[in-house]
Amino acid sequence: MKAATVTSETVQPAAHLRLVSDRAGDAAGIKLSGVSKTYRTRDGDVPSLRPLDFHINDGEFFVVVGPSGCGKSTLLKLISGLLPPTTGEILVEGEKVTTPHGNVGIVFQNALLLPWRNILNNVMLPIDMKRLPRQQYLDRAKQLLKLVGLEGFEKKLPWQLSGGMQQRASICRALVHDPRIMLMDEPFGALDALTRERMNVELMRIQRETRKTVLLITHSIPEAVFLADRVLVMTERPGAVAAVYDVPLPRPRSLDVMADPVFTELVQRIRKHFFSQGALD
Ligand SMILES: Nc1ncnc2c1ncn2[C@@H]1O[C@H](COP(=O)(O)OP(=O)(O)OP(=O)(O)O)[C@@H](O)[C@H]1O
Ligand SMILES: [Mg+2]
């Protein structure tokens, strides 16, 4: 009975592509067609991603899970325009991605703060780079820092903060210019469990209020199900789409949803993909 409430579609890439290309407003969101990546190294080729076809809808919270080394960070770098794909094409809001897109905020797996800039000025980096009016965004930067519990640390240098605090600052940096699209690579990996839950709830609230399109990568299956409208499960390297699951849990969601049978059942179902590949979270 419960199984009927959880819908899943095991995606055959070509079929999924047909499905989405029939939809109106196809130009919005993020669309991948035949996107693969092979790193050319001195020791030979490293196939990292097999051809991927999927579409992230405008305003969707889309989460990718997959085993370590399957190509998740590579996928994010391709979509953000920092790396060229080996084959295929990526469209962000209908435009082919060739360079980093102005309307995208990125949170990398490492905080990557500039060591010579204080925390506030690290958060302000996209504003300075885009030459936006500084004064107008300063309050927003401070509000974001407050939101993630970093009030009072504005003048500190990155090395004076813990890894988790640096990562929270990098989340503020990705949000400060209010991008329509957020790409986040394990943004909460360095946080303790309680802060992580609080950040999950905050991120969900921000996404809901601003209708941003979010692509988030995580190792944690419960985190994926808690946050996502859809969860894409990747295979081992070279990564391919193993399945895409709809998350039929109503919003707004509170942490209590984790006790819901629909939640636990979906977590179990996704976990089964990894039984042969070792634990994910
Ligand atoms: N610059 C690079 N040159 C060569 N190979 C690379 C490079 N970056 C990544 N790879 C390889 O591509 C594969 C995918 O790496 P990637 O960082 O995308 O994995 P991941 O899924 O993000 O892993 P994790 O969950 O551990 O962060 C790995 O086997 C890695 O060794
Ligand atoms: Mg990674």
Give the tens place of pLDDT for each residue, 49-82. 999 999 999 999 999 999 999 999 999 999 999 9
The CATH number given to whatever domain includes residue 82 is 3.40.50.300
- Judge if the beta carbon of residue 73 lies within 6 A of ligand 1: yes
Same domain, 117 and 253: no
> Does residue 280 sit within a domain?
no
- DSSP string covering 213-252: EEEEEES-HHHHHHH-SEEEEE-SSSB-EEEEEE----SS
**Cα–Cα dist 44/181, whole Å:** 35
Residue of 45, 72, 217, 233 with the most ligand 1 atoms within 8 Å of its CB, for mutation: 72
| Region for residue 276 given its phi and psi (left: phi exceeds 0; alpha: psi -120 to 50; beta: otherwise) | alpha
Question: Residue 26 has what pLDDT?
Answer: 55
Question: Residue 100 has what pLDDT?
Answer: 86
User: Given 152, 179, 206, which residue is the final one in a domain?
Assistant: 179
Same domain, 220 and 175: no
Question: Residue 15 has what pLDDT?
Answer: 34
Same domain, 213 and 233: yes
Question: Residue 258 has what pLDDT?
Answer: 96
**Whole-prediction pTM value?**
0.88
Same domain, 156 and 245: no
Same domain, 142 and 198: no
> Does residue 281 sit within a domain?
no
Q: How many domains does the chain have?
A: 2
Q: Quick one: which atom of ligand 1 is closest to the CA of 37?
A: 12
> Does residue 124 sit within a domain?
yes
Range of the domain at 46: 2-103+180-275
Same domain, 221 and 255: yes
> Does residue 9 sit within a domain?
yes
In contact, 37 and 46? CB cutoff 8 Å: no
Which of 49, 24, 21, 48 lies closest to 34 in space, CA to CA? 49
User: Given 179, 201, 234, which residue is the final one in a domain?
Assistant: 179
In contact, 20 and 31? CB cutoff 8 Å: yes
- Judge if the beta carbon of residue 72 lies within 6 A of ligand 1: yes
Same domain, 90 and 193: yes
Q: Is the dihedral of CA 96, 61, 273, 218 positive or negative?
A: positive
Residue count of the chain, please give it: 281
**Cα–Cα dist 255/238, whole Å:** 34
Same domain, 140 and 17: no
Q: Where are the beta strands (DSSP E) in the chain?
A: 8-9, 30-41, 44-56, 61-65, 87-92, 95-96, 104-107, 181-185, 213-218, 230-234, 241-246
Same domain, 266 and 214: yes
Same domain, 269 and 253: yes
pLDDT tens column, 211-251:
999 999 999 999 999 999 999 999 999 999 999 999 999 99
Same domain, 17 and 98: yes
- Judge if the beta carbon of residue 71 lies within 6 A of ligand 1: yes
User: Given 130, 164, 179, which residue is the final one in a domain?
Assistant: 179
Question: Residue 140 has what pLDDT?
Answer: 94
- Using 50 as the pLDDT threshold, list the residues of the chain that sit under it: 1-25, 279
Ligand in nearest proximity to the CA of 74? 1
Q: Quick one: which atom of ligand 1 is closest to the CA of 46?
A: 5
Same domain, 10 and 91: yes
